[in-house]
Structure 1
Amino acid sequence: MLKYLRLLLLPVNLVYALAIFVRNQLYDWGVLKSKRFNMPIICIGNLAVGGSGKTPTTEYLVTLLHNYKIAILSRGYGRTTKGFILADETASAQTIGDEPLQYYRKFKNVTVAVCEDRVAGIQKLKSTHEVILLDDAFQHRRVSAGFNILLFEFDKLRSFQMLLPAGNLRETFSGVKRAQSVLITKSPKQIEQQQKEHLLGKLKLKSHQNFAFSHIGYQTLRSLYGDHQLMLQKNLEVFLLTGIANPRPLSHYLASQQVKVRHFEYPDHHRFTEQEIKQLIQAFEEHPLANKIILTTEKDAQRLLDGKLRDLLLNLPVYYLPINIEINVAERAKFDQKILDYVASAK
């Protein structure tokens, strides 16, 4: 069914492709203006819609650049507010979005802000910060970032991809030319050289463009409403709640740990309702085993911290699974150093 729907959308794809091509050309020619700032601006983005690992990559950069005064600027996808907002102790997933809230809760020495107009947001942050990280802004060409990190998901890069609306590409692969570094995420820990050469051949990188492969590092489970940590145990009954773009790597990881999973799956950035959480709780409480938990992702956890949903889950064993990106050893030093050199020179 999906295959035929994509075929029906192909004429729309041609119109979309033409519009994107013309827009990018107008920026490349200088007809449409991009604002360049006299400070280090690093953009983390992708060509496809969702699921490429922008959040853990942004967190990786925060750790790498810990000696600098950093601000993270996001549009705050899924928030109910508008305009420029600085994250503070009153922030919630509704006011700033789940990913910015995750950054704010995780990094106390980093400024987190949201603004749909990135130029305006940078103007408000530039005088008090040394580096600004733009989360998901590769297509926001009104800002000319000094350094662009473009992410590709390993499995998706191996397969044929189409432009929106028939596929999931925001723009064609020619957009790779605007990136200084390319990070291929969610890769296997061991990649054959032939596979690497095939993928890099699809990207057609220039000599000045850096690349690296990374894989997901799964951490210890942490209690959402307390300080307790938990190791996954064989035959543990897991009631998994997700609202992310691609839960397959997580499902594969849990399967490798030999836990039993009942998955409550929703679309990316889904705003969980009371009824949905009550259904989850009912299924959890009706299950006869005592060795059971409710598990979610760190991003989804941010939407379970507010008011009524928190009250429903507060007395249950609810955990989230933090992740990070682990860049392959052979490429990590070069990948890191190029970013550090850019920040030092731009600053």
Structure 2
Amino acid sequence: MFVLKILLWPFAVLYDAVTRVRNYLFDIGRKPSFSFETFVINVGNLTVGGTGKTPHIEFLIRVLADQYKTATLSRGYGRKSKGFLLADKNSDADLLGDEPMQFYHKYGGKITVTVGEERAHAIPCILHEREDTKVILLDDAYQHRYVKPDINILLSDYSRPFYKDMVLPAGRLRESRKGANRADAVIVTKCPDQMSQTEQDLISNDIRKYAGKEKPVYFSTIKYLKPKPVFKKSEDIPKKIVFFAGIANPSQVIEKLSNEYNLQESVRFSDHHTYTVKDVKHLIAKATEFGNDTGLLTTEKDMVRLLTPEFSEMLKAIPFFYIPIEVKFLEGKQKFEEWILNSVHSKYSSDKI
């Protein structure tokens, strides 16, 4: 691995130079950044791969949606459509992508869910379709600098902190560590449930070397909720399970399931995997192989990809569950929520002056 990084280093230097020039052009105004009257919050990261953006967007939905008309805007990674789309009852993961479809599946009655590659063009479309929208949550737009958010939230994975990483292709960074200074707050995600104050202070100090000395740093972990049946209203999870997922890093959830359930096998697919009939038949066969008291368990993101009529008909023949997740702040949750709500309130209060 070390030798490979050495070989890739010249390409990383070139990539770093290109992204630095691009950011500099935005910083001096040679490339335009657009602000909007509607309050915009971005949740993103410096690295490729999963840092927990989806559950943090959902956390913000729960904080905001009861008080403000809220919309989400995602690129719609892996979708088979193009351009701006507004989710409705006929939408599926192929049209929207799995994460926006998850937002719609859970919160479609409370919020507006949209996708669009060009956020600066998509936001006016949202406001045209839903002119009463007060907050727009941008999913993974930290490098999309054509939109200037009111709040920029940077996520950093506890096990792969950005300050120990290198730029692509030698590492996983989309831009240099210096990009952290655009954040208004940093959240270290997927932390252990128990972290000493000393460890939190050390990590915060490392982050602030790049983000700024006064930048607030929070720590969150993933809270796994009770598995839910996909099709039946009430059903106990089977004695034995086969877990499958197409997510960036399933090791944490696999470890939890191994400790709490009779996990027979785990089947991994690539992140944002598009399931086929062959895949579903293989998964059903896997579960059947371990006996009639075995069911399938997956993530919420994978579950929404399997809600098509064809897959649903196949999977109804076997116990099929998904495991919901939520973000849990180790401390400072109330302070974070108050900051978000006060920031939104301040913008609209000042607009009335």
* Same fold? TM cut 0.5: yes
1:239 maps to 2:242: yes
Q: What is residue 310 of structure 1 aligned with on the other side?
A: 312
- Computed over aligned residues only, the root mean square deviation of the Cα atoms, in angstroms, reads 1.7
1:206 alignment counterpart: 212
- The question of 1:262 aligning with 2:265 is answered yes
Aligned length: 341
Shift of 1:229: 5.0
> How far, CA to CA, are the matches of 2:163 and 2:267 in structure 1?
27
Q: Which residue in the other structure is 1:327 paired with? A: 329
Match of 2:277 among 252, 274, 278: 274
TM-score under structure 1 normalisation?
0.94
> Residue type of the partner of 1:93?
A
Contact 1:211/1:335 (8 A) holds in 2: no
Percent same amino acid among aligned pairs? 37
In structure 2, how many angstroms separate the alpha carbons of the residues matched to 1:80 and 1:15?
Answer: 32
Q: Distance in 1 between matches of 2:317 and 2:297?
A: 14
Instruction: Supply the AA of the counterpart residue of 2:339.
Output: K
Shift in alpha-carbon separation, 1:321–1:16, aligned structure 2, 3 A: same
1:141 equivalent in structure 2:
145
Q: Distance in 1 between matches of 2:236 and 2:175?
A: 41
How far off is 1:165 after superposition?
1.7
Answer with 332-341 or 25-34: which moved more.
332-341
Distance of 1:260 and 1:75 partners within structure 2: 34
> 2:235 matched to 1:223?
no
Secondary structure at 1:51 match in 2:
coil
| CA displacement 1:78-135 (0-9 Å, x = unmatched) | 0010011000011011001011111111111100010101011111223330111001
Instruction: Say which of 260, 277, 300 aligns to 1:298.
Output: 300
**2:191·2:221 contact (CA, 8 Å) conserved in 1?**
yes
- SS state at 2:296 partner: strand
How far, CA to CA, are the matches of 1:114 and 1:87 in structure 2?
8
Q: Are 2:43 and 1:38 equivalent residues in the alignment? A: no
Aligned to 2:351: none
Unaligned runs of at least 5 residues, structure 1 = none
Preserved contact between residue 162 and residue 173 of structure 2 (Cα < 8 Å): no
CA distance in 2, matches of 1:5, 1:294: 38
Equivalent residue for 2:173, pick from 164, 169, 172: 169
Could you list the runs of 5+ residues in structure 2 that have no partner in the other structure? Answer: 349-353
Structure 2-normalised TM-score?
Answer: 0.92
Alpha-carbon shift at residue 296 of structure 1 (Å)? 0.4
4+ residue segments displaced more than 6 Å: none
Deviation at 1:307?
3.3
For 1:309 and 1:216, the matched residues in 2 are separated by 28
Q: Distance in 1 between matches of 2:166 and 2:92?
A: 35
Letter in 2 for 1:224: V
Q: Which amino acid aligns with 1:80?
A: K
CA deviations over 1:210-248 (Å, ceiling 9, x no partner)? 2211111111111112323546x8xx3221110000101
Decide whether the 8 Å contact of 1:221 with 1:229 is kept in 2: no
Deviations 1:228-277 (A, max 9, x none): 3546x8xx322111000010110111122142240110110011121122
Equivalent residue, structure 2, for 1:73:
73
